[in-house]
Amino acid sequence: MTATSDIPPSVESSDQPLYSETPEEREFELRAAVNSYWTGGRLMIGMFTFLFASLAFAYFYLKSNNSGKLWRPDGITAPTGIGWTIFAVVVASALLAIYGQWRMRSGSVLDWEVSGWVAVLGILLAIGLQIWQLTQLPFFPGSSGYASCFIGWAVMNIMMLVGGAYWLETNLALCLRLRRRSAGEDGPERSPATSMAPAALLFRANVESCTYFFGFMVVVSALFWVFFYLI
C-alpha cells in the first residue's frame, strides 16, 4: 500500500485550503498590529529616556561633587550660537512634523509629505551642525566634568536625531508606495489618510508614533539645552 492511499479522497482531491481566517480573526490581527506600533513607539521613547536619564544623573552628580574644582574650570561653555541654532532647528522640524500629521488627519496627505520632507532636511541640518560644533569646542574631551558630559550629550543627540530622521523618511517613502499601489489596484488613487485598507491603517499608526517621537526629541533638546547653555 502506498503512502497516498492513506489520504482520504476528500482531502487528497480538494484544492481548498485546510484553514482560512474568519473576518473576526483578521480584525483582531489588524488591531494587534496597529497597537504594536503604539507600543513600539513608546518603548523606543522609553529606551532613549533611560539613556538620557543616565547622562542627566552624571551631569548633576559631577556638578554637585565638583571634585578638584574640575567640573567647569574658568566657566567654559560649548559654542552657544551653534547650540541655539541646533535647538531652534529641532523645534521647528518637530513642529512641522506635528503640523503635517494634523493635516493628514484632515485628509491632506500632500501637506504632510511637504512638511515631512522639510522636517527631514531640518533634522539633517541639525545633525550636521552638531557634528560641526564638535570641531569648534574650546575644550578637549575629558578635560573636565562639563566637557565629558557635553561630548556624551552630543553623541546621544546625534543618535536620537538620526533615528527620528530615518523613521520619518521611511514613512514618507511608504506613503508614496501606498499611493502607487492603490492607483494600480483600484483605479483611482486613494489617499492613505482616508483609506480603510489594512496597509493604510498601519501606515497612519506608524506616522502617529513617529510624531510622538519628534515631540520627545523637543523635550530632550530643551532640557539639555538648559543644562549646557543656561545653568
The pLDDT assigned to 187 comes to: 43
The candidate with the shortest Cα–Cα distance to 217, out of 166, 157, 149, 155, is: 157
Q: How far is CA 211 from CA 77, 112, 135, 177, 214, in A?
A: 32, 11, 31, 20, 5
For 63, the grid coordinates are 556638578
pLDDT exceeds cutoff 50 at 193: yes
Tell me which fold the domain 26-62+79-229 belongs to: Four Helix Bundle (Hemerythrin (Met), subunit A) (1.20.120)
Tell the residue number behind the cell numbers 493635516, with chain if given. 103
Helices (H), the chain: 9-12, 23-65, 80-105, 109-134, 145-186, 198-229
The pLDDT assigned to 231 comes to: 84
**Model pTM?**
0.83
User: How does residue 60 score in pLDDT terms, banded at 50, 70 and 90?
Assistant: very high
Mean pLDDT of the residues in the chain: 86
The pLDDT assigned to 185 comes to: 55
